[in-house]
Structure 1
Amino acid sequence: MTFWTLFWMSLDILFFAAYLIAVFYILFDLFSDHTLNGWWKALWIIFLVFVPFLTALVYIVVRGRGMAERARRRRGVVPEDDSYRPRPSANPASDIAQAQALLDQGAISQGEFEAIKNKALTGRY
């Protein structure tokens, strides 16, 4: 067996394994999607059997966003909630004045004062 025969055989095996992983992931996604009708699931599976490569590509293009959302939900990751993000202060002048008083007392450092001032003005650290 020559080097190139071994090389192409290894490449074929790699592509076939990647394809099988994609097909199994598509099947897993199909059966975990509770919003999709059973007839649609059956139709996707029939197409996966008879026109596998094209169907896998179409499935990923058409239902890719939903696949990602369902995967995130299975892992327990919820969509981002902006309520935890810092907001600019309602009264930045008083926050900065309080920080200045703490700086004058030596309770905070100059860097901490700058961070508080920046947060009061922009909502970011």
Structure 2
Amino acid sequence: MSDNVYLAYDYPLLGAFWTILVIALWVWWFILLFRVIADIFRDDALSGWAKAGWLVLTLLLPFLGVFIYVLARGRSMGARERRHVQAQQEAFDQHVREAAGGTGRRSEADELMKLSEIRARGDISDEEFRRAKEKILH
């Protein structure tokens, strides 16, 4: 029974604040580290050897490597990120357009317009046009 029992009130509020701050800083640090590594691979202007050098520097000396990378190439990181996001958005928009156009049902107006074009060319008679029009509208 001589064991010490630690209760919640034995941990001061300032200690909890510092613990939360340290955890948040570590999370932000890892986010920055992975963003730098992703930027190294994303940059088409860097040669393979330059990418390998930056990667080795950021992995062997992470704090110093990330600091140097952000100082040397940080300004263009945002531009590369914007280009990457725009390319993703354009690819998504194109996919949506293809999916909507390829499987979507044509409207009655589109079908009637195509039918009237066929009649204007003389490929169908007025009676065939009337029957097809009734079929579309009903």
Q: Distance in 1 between matches of 2:30 and 2:76?
A: 20
- Does 2:58 match 1:48? yes
1:1-125 equivalences under 5 Å are 1-76=11-86
Using CA pairs under 8 Å that are at least 6 residues apart, name the structure with larger relative contact order, 1 or 2: 1
Q: Distance in 1 between matches of 2:73 and 2:64?
A: 14
The structure with the larger Rg is 2
Give 1:15 deviation, angstroms: 0.6
Give 1:71 deviation, angstroms: 1.3
Give 1:76 deviation, angstroms: 2.2
Give 1:63 deviation, angstroms: 0.6
Q: Distance in 1 between matches of 2:34 and 2:19?
A: 22
Q: Distance in 1 between matches of 2:12 and 2:65?
A: 35
- What letter corresponds to residue 34 of structure 1 in structure 2? D
Greater per-residue helix proportion: 2
Q: Distance in 2 between matches of 1:74 and 1:50?
A: 27
After superposition, give the CA deviation of every residue in 1:71-115 in whole Å (9 maximum; x if it has no partner).
1211228xxxxxxxxxxxxxxxxxxxxxxxxxxxxxxxxxxxxxx
Task: Give me the TM-score of the superposition, normalised by structure 2.
Answer: 0.51
Give 1:49 deviation, angstroms: 1.9
Cross-structure match for 2:127: none
- What letter corresponds to residue 19 of structure 2 in structure 1? M
Q: Which runs of 5+ in 2 are unaligned?
A: 1-10, 88-138
Give 1:52 deviation, angstroms: 1.3
Task: Give me the TM-score of the superposition, normalised by structure 1.
Answer: 0.55
